[in-house]
Structure 1
Amino acid sequence: MIELKIDGGVAEVVLNAPKKLNSLGEQDLLDLAAALDEAAAAGAKALYLRGEGRAFCAGRDIAGVVPAEDDVADFLGNKVTGVLKKISEFPAPTFAAVQGACLGVGLGLALACDVVYVAESAKIGSPFANLGATLDSGGHWLFTERLGTHRTLDLIYTAEFMSGREAVEQGLFSRWVADDELDEFTRSRVARVAEGAQLAFATSKKLVQDIRDRRIGMWESIADENVAQGELCKSEDYAEGFKAFQEKRKPTFTGK
């Protein structure tokens, strides 16, 4: 169900099992990890992750799962977490387009991306209260980080969903888009970024992730920015960007 297409520097990864709402089993996650590795090895300049059909990803494929025999900790720790890390650490900007259900593992995939555009009517939240389980795939940390403790526990306790519009307005994702415009909107942004200054993007991605993961303060972040900017200003991309600005033309970046 995992499809990979690389064109014009853009790696498009598609979850293509619409009949099961793109829910993911163990083999699907292994295939997704392999697709991410292949895209990175090919030198993709941007990654576009999407789901085929009416849902982005409804979570884990539980068809055939026997609860009494299921090692959920192994599935999450050794199958899911590695994929989330691959997305988060992908060496180029990553985008997700989310429509319909975005739950469980699917929510984790979206949250691991750098930029997430959502259809206005998307369904986002934690249905696990109805199963006697809890939010996973990084959901607790990211919901609390972006929504606060009260809203996070409200969503978990009630198992109510946010629409795409609500999720964006509450700070969870990048922006919402009309349902029928989501794919075209996302593709246009991904294509633009793939032509952009990759060294600068990678630098900003690291600076932002250091703030998130290392919890560094403003002055340490400013110091890191100063060093990073100094290095970028020695690059061929900077020279090209500066020259293009002076000549009033579009720059051609090479990532050097």
Structure 2
Amino acid sequence: MIQLQIDAAVAEIALDAPEKLNALSLDALGELDAAYAEAEAAGVRALVLRGEGRAFCAGRDIAGVDPATDDVSGYLGAVEALMRRMAAFPAPTFAAVHGACLGVGLGLAIATDVVYVAETAKVGSPFANLGALLDSGGHALLYERLGAHRALDLIYTGELLTGAEAVAAGLFSRVVDAGEVLDFTRERALRVASGPTQAFLASKRLIDKLRDERLWRVVADETRGQAELRDTADYREGFAAFGEKRPPVFTGS
């Protein structure tokens, strides 16, 4: 489900499972990690990440996942490893975000240098409907950009921000018309690839040093918290309701 193309020193990676809004299984995470490794080995000077179909990435593919046997720590460990590879990629990286950008999809955006968002994109934490924990660095992003009250408001309610609202709140780089976001992102990546990329990487390393201590600590804490929630009745109910396509009935236990 992961496609990689390299042209004119720019790599383009596409999440290509539009029938499930590019939700990522453990195997898909491995494919995505391998695509970044291949692009790095090719020595590209910029990289674009995008999603096929109606969404960028709707998060984890939980179809068929049984909470009783789910290795959530293993899955989120793979997410963290992928995010670290993405953040350390030795060239400027760009994401073109449209449609759903949720959960792990939000983590992919967090780990990308520059994110251009369609005005109609949907960004945030849908975990209130699953009895689960926002993961993939989402707490760090929402708290840092929105403050405690707004971050918890979005987490508690499960309400999503539009792309325009997310950019206005400082979550991402720039809002673009939905029909133009991919072309806009490709043009910017191509322009940057022809620039002084060693100087850009020096800036990237400085920015990474400023943000990394908080981000990776929160990612690790999210993984531990998700593993603890896996044993709650509400977590099991959230997954069951998702699979049965019905509203969940939570008991607070």
Equivalent residue number for residue 142 of structure 1 = 141
What residue in structure 1 maps to residue 219 of structure 2?
A: none
Unaligned runs of 5+ in 1: 216-256
**Aligned counterparts of 1:163 and 1:60: Cα–Cα separation in 2:** 20
- Once the two structures are superposed, the pairs formed by residues 46-85 of structure 1 within 5 Å of their partners are 46-77=46-77, 79-85=78-84
Residues 139-171 of structure 1: CA deviation (Å, up to 9, x unaligned) = 111211122111111110010000000000000
CA-CA distance at 1:130 after TM superposition: 1.1
Q: Secondary structure at the match of 1:180?
A: coil
Does the residue aligned with 1:179 lie in a helix, a strand or coil?
Answer: coil
Shift of 1:21: 0.3
One-letter amino acid matched to 1:156: I
- Provide the rounded CA distance (Å) in 1 between the counterparts of 2:146 and 2:88: 23
Alignment match, 1:166: 165
Q: Structure 1 residue 95: deviation in Å?
A: 0.4
How large is the Cα RMSD of the aligned pairs?
Answer: 1.0
Q: Distance in 2 between matches of 1:202 and 1:163?
A: 30
Give percent identity, aligned residues only.
64
Tell me, in whole angstroms, the C-alpha distance in 2 between the residues paired with 1:87 and 1:196. 21
* Partner Cα distance (2:133, 2:187) in 1: 36
- Describe the superposition over 1:155-193 as per-residue Cα deviations: whole angstroms up to 9, x where unpaired: 100100000000000000001001111111111101000
Provide TM-score, normalisation by structure 2: 0.83
Amino acid at match of 1:20: K
Verify: 1:123 aligned to 2:104, yes or no: no
Higher CA-based Rg: 1
Q: Alpha-carbon deviation of 1:210?
A: 1.6
Tell me the equivalent position of 2:104.
105
How far the C-alpha of 1:209 sits from its partner, in A, is 1.4
Cα distance in 2 for partners of 1:54, 1:157 equals 26
C-alpha deviation, 1:213, in angstroms: 2.8
**Count of residue pairs the alignment pairs up:** 214
1:190-233 Cα deviation digits (max 9, x unpaired): 10001110110010101111222358xxxxxxxxxxxxxxxxxx
Counterpart CA distance in 2 for 1:183 and 1:96 is 9
Query: 156-165 vs 64-73, which deviates more?
Result: 64-73
Which structure carries more relative contact order (alpha carbon 8 Å, separation 6+)?
2
Residue identity in the other structure for 2:42: A
**1:31-50 paired onto structure 2 within 5 Å:** 31-50=31-50
Q: 2: distance between equivalents of 1:208 and 1:52?
A: 30
Question: TM-score normalized by structure 1?
Answer: 0.82
Distance between the aligned counterparts of 2:59 and 2:35, measured in 1? 19
Match runs of 1:229-244 below 5 Å: none
Structure 1 runs of 4+ aligned residues shifted over 6 Å read none
In 2, Cα distance between equivalents of 1:209 and 1:86: 12
